[in-house]
Every structure is written in structure tokens, then in C-alpha cells.
């Protein structure tokens, strides 16, 4: 397998931006609500980005790597979601898990709707 340093650089650059954005939101909305917010926003943007790529083919491989893997991968956070869910009482953990799952799927569908409605698909 050939190492593609160009792709690594784009993933790292996107990851840097996504991680900083994640931190900025966490500074304003700490703990469970902040993690829920970034995961929901990340799913909306991933839905928009994914369906724009599928239906229109608008993005190059480099752009998909930068935004999809780098920026949105670092912006959203499954690990914080899991740790925070385990650190709170069971009823709150169940609510947090349910909210992240429901809003995550809703975010993807919302992103899809935005693209398909905008494009008349």
C-alpha cells in the first residue's frame, strides 16, 4: 500500500479545524448538552455533505477527506458521548443516549432533505 501523504495532510488540517471548533463550542456549552450539540450539528453537516456528494458528485476526493474524515471526524465526538453517558445516573444516561441517537439520525435526514429539496430531487 502506497502512503498518500497529501491525504494525511488534508485529514490533519481538517482535524485541526474540527477539534478547535469542538473546543470552542464546549467552552460555551459544557458537558452533555455541548456533546449533544456538536454531534447533532456534525450529523446535519455530514448529511448535507454526503448527499451533495452522492446526488451531485460535487466534491473531489480531497474535499471529502478534508471535511468528512478530518473536520467532521474531529468535530463530532463519540468518545466524549460514551464517557459522559457512563458518568451520570442511569436515567440521565439513557436520555442522553436516546437523544444522541435520535438527533444524530434526524440530523443526517435533515441534511439529506436540505440537499434533495434544494436540488429538486
Q: pLDDT tens-digit profile of 68-118? A: 999 999 999 888 999 999 999 999 999 999 999 999 999 999 999 998 887
Distance CA 5, CA 102 (A): 37
CA-closest candidate to residue 119, choices 46, 45, 54, 29: 54
| Model pLDDT, residue 3 | 84
pLDDT band at 120 (very low <50, low <70, confident <90, very high): confident
Q: pLDDT tens-digit profile of 5-43? A: 999 999 999 999 999 999 999 999 989 999 999 999 999
Residue pair 62/8 in contact (Cβ under 8 Å)? The answer is no
The DSSP result for 6-22, as a single string, is HHHHHHHHHHHHHHHHH
Residue pair 10/62 in contact (Cβ under 8 Å)? The answer is yes
Amino acid at each position: 500500500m502506497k502512503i498518500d501523504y497529501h491525504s494525511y495532510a488534508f485529514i490533519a488540517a481538517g482535524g485541526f479545524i474540527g477539534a478547535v471548533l469542538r473546543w470552542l463550542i464546549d467552552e460555551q456549552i459544557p458537558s452533555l448538552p455541548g456533546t449533544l450539540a456538536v454531534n447533532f450539528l456534525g450529523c446535519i453537516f455530514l448529511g448535507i455533505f454526503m448527499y451533495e456528494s452522492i446526488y451531485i458528485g460535487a466534491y473531489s476526493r480531497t474535499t471529502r477527506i478534508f471535511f468528512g474524515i478530518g473536520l467532521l471526524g474531529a468535530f463530532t465526538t463519540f468518545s466524549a458521548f460514551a464517557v459522559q453517558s457512563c458518568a451520570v445516573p442511569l436515567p440521565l444516561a439513557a436520555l442522553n443516549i436516546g437523544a444522541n441517537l435520535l438527533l444524530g439520525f434526524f440530523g443526517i435526514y435533515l441534511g439529506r432533505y436540505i440537499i434533495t429539496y434544494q436540488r429538486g430531487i
